[in-house]
Amino acid sequence: MDAVKRDYVECVQKLGKYADVIVVNVSSPNTPGLRSLQASKPLTDLLGSVVVAANDVARARKPKVVVKVSPDSDSPQAIRDISAAVKASGVAGVIVANTTVTRPAFLTTSPQTTEEEKRIVAEEAGGYSGPALFPRTLKLVEEFRRQLGANIEVVASGGVQNGRDAIECVKHGASAVMGYTGMVYGGVGWFGRMASELAEEVEKIQTEVRRLKVAGAAVINDETYGRE
């Protein structure tokens, strides 16, 4: 564990002066043994060391530290342990979440799925992301927000495809939203589409709020004056 902390701290010492945010990734499924660092004690020790190193960086505005966790560490106890480590170490936020090693059954149920694709799903290791991960992202964001309270950032990541998805993440407690798979398949125009879709979703929400205010005012007015 001491060697692990030295590696992370050295990275902060060398790169921290160039960064506004430092992400401590303890959740990549492609690095054997890495996810074991999400256990309560090692995670608390590791994050504490990184936060101290970040605060020692020679720049006026110190980089913020966030931790990226696995969607497969989704048991109530795992979420409590990770949240406790985040709060105890002074980390600014948590990214929920990395890719998953699970493989939803529907991935291979399409008649168009080739035998080679079925073999890949069945045999090959590595992280899976995309739309199938999105429901779990929402659930985890909600759980981590409940555990962490209002003062620690919760960043949603996993299966976000459009502006509607991003708004759903915010509704479930996300402070910010990240997208990757959607951008890979959507190309560079994805960013512009996301901005337009977000604006449309916000306008829908504002319209509904205005409608409710008018309806509420009408009810109050009727209750106040309609019975005379």
Which tokens belong to 223? Answer: 């209750």
**Is 110 a catalytic site residue?**
no
Paired residues of 96 in beta bridges:
69, 156
Element (H, E) at 86: helix 76-89
Beta strands at 21-25 and 64-69: parallel, antiparallel or unpaired: parallel
Planar angle of CA 140, 141, 145, nearest 5 degrees: 115
User: Strands, DSSP E only, in the chain?
Assistant: 21-25, 64-69, 93-96, 153-157, 176-178
* Catalytic position from the list 28, 40, 75, 129: 28
130: left (phi over 0), alpha (psi -120 to 50) or beta: left
The set of catalytic residues is 28
